[in-house]
Amino acid sequence: MSRLAQALAAGEFVVTTEVAPPKGVDLSAVLETARQLRGVTAVNVTDNQGANMRMTPLVLAGLLVREGIEPILQLTCRDRNRMALQSDLLGAAALGVENVLLLSGDHARFGDHPAARSVFDLDSVQLLHGVAALARGEDLAGRPLTSAPRFFPGAAVTPEAEPFELTLQKFRKKAAAGVGFFQTQAVFESQRLEQFMAEANRCEVPVLVGVLLLKSARMARFLNERIPGVRVPQRLIERLEQAEKPLEEGVAIAREMVAEARRLAQGVHLMTLGQEGRIPEILAVD
């Protein structure tokens, strides 16, 4: 059982964060960033995040295992058919990676290769069923494996998305498909988080609340305009505009959301965007 699974089963408040593979072959900088992380249970390794081409996350996840750092391997359905997804999952298990976050993925037209053909042979719910099949010792064609992998599968959810009932329907489908944990898209409204968790707790699957570090009012407006399912309230934008040091205000806002997550959920997923050194401050309890 992975450390992430153990911590959630023990009722600990779990903290995850994320790193991105390089757009190149030099892994030294991202490995050093991962080594410096403090107060974190596991680290997501993103998979061509935002549909922007980078090194495969499988390599970095395997190296993190060697370093004694627990990875959460992200896999998107956008870039692979069912054969490639199963191959990567088996490869991950062989490298000692147990935690996987299964995502549909942003469409290629939104990234740096807009002419690329998105695959979407499976969706994230179907991929969850595929992971369960592999763990039973068979592939998606029903053929036996010579040995079965062990995974702790996760999925994503977007509490701020509308219509809210559709969000809950997707959440319930993933819960029924055997997901072990959820990570949410960034949440900035405690009222919406409370509303979501009231429904989510019925499924009895741990939820890690997405907390994104806002660096400026400009960044907040960009998120509202360009990132589906993210809504930064005007009052927070005004706080950032009026702050003498916007990044410090962003840290304060992130701390407030972590406090809400401690009250309502089972953990947080921190998105600090190059400010990983601020994680202990964001997690500090008043």
Residue 252 covered by a domain: yes
Q: How confident is the model at residue 106 (pLDDT cuts 50, 70, 90)?
A: confident
pLDDT of 229: 86
Residue 102 covered by a domain: yes
Average pLDDT over residues 172-189: 97
Q: How confident is the model at residue 134 (pLDDT cuts 50, 70, 90)?
A: very high
Domain CATH code at residue 15: 3.20.20.220
Cα(253)–Cα(237) distance, rounded to whole angstroms? 11
Q: Report pLDDT digits (tens) over 40-53.
A: 999 999 999 999 99
Average pLDDT over residues 108-137: 95
Cα(40)–Cα(272) distance, rounded to whole angstroms? 13
Paired tokens of 49: 């995040």
Residue 240 covered by a domain: yes
Average pLDDT over residues 200-210: 96
Residue 87 covered by a domain: yes
pLDDT of 87: 98
Residue 286 covered by a domain: no
Residue tagged 């499924």 (tokens): 203
Helix (H, G, I), strand (E, B) or coil at 163: coil
Helix (H, G, I), strand (E, B) or coil at 71: strand
Q: 83 lies in which domain range?
A: 3-281
Number of domains in the chain: 1
Residue 100 covered by a domain: yes
Residue 174 covered by a domain: yes
